Amino acid sequence: MNYRKINQKLFLLLLYIITAPFIITLIIPITIHIMMKTRKKELKRTLLLNGFNNYREIETNSLRNYFIFNEDGRFIEVLNGALKFDDIRNYNVELIIPDNSNQSINILAGYIVAGKLGALAGSVTKSCYLILREKDFQSFKDPVKHVIYGEKSIETLYNLLVFFQEKGYIE
């Protein structure tokens, strides 16, 4: 073997050692991105097939868990990719927002006065709680408490729940 062939093999080996991590770091994020896009398309197709034409997404404290509310009172709870279909009419609903004095306010329990409306505006940095209690009187179940984060999600959820209250879906 001559000196030139050794240099070529060494060059190719170094080229492989240097470029392989870059190729791997390009391939893995691209495949993850493609998988996420296809999963989102499948979710949108499932929503349209089930009649969720005008829906709102509400984020919870987890990245993979969120709510999708439709205007007719139905909602989907997405738990790690699994879909759980339900209706808001089957639950007693409370939206708890802690105010500045660490007192909890049930925003839906009556008319909002101007001082309590500030709690909704100040809830950007705090977490709010959506409490769902089943209306089934045959068996007592503990209420399910969901943590809602983000100003946009809290405002959207509040507006939806007020809309549902006006329609008579919730009490």
Q: Is residue 98 part of a domain?
A: yes
Three-class SS state of 57 = strand
Contacts 24+ apart (CB under 8 A), 9-18: none
Q: pLDDT per residue over 86-99, tens digit each?
A: 888 888 888 887 76
pLDDT for the residue 38: 92
SS3 readout for 97-156: EECCCCCEEECCCCCCCHHHHHHHHHHHCCCEEEEEEECCCCCCCCCEEEEECCHHHHHH
pTM (2 d.p.): 0.68
Q: Is 42 domain-assigned?
A: no
pLDDT digits (tens, 9 = 90+) for 66-75: 889 988 889 9
- Per the domain annotation, does 105 fall within a domain? yes
State residue 41's pLDDT score. Answer: 92
Residue 111: which domain range? 84-167
pLDDT at 122: 55
**Domain-embedded: residue 70:** no
4 occurs within a structural domain? no
Q: Which residues of the chain have pLDDT under 50?
A: 111, 113-115
Q: For residue 26, is it within any domain? A: no
Split into its structural domains, the chain has a count of: 1
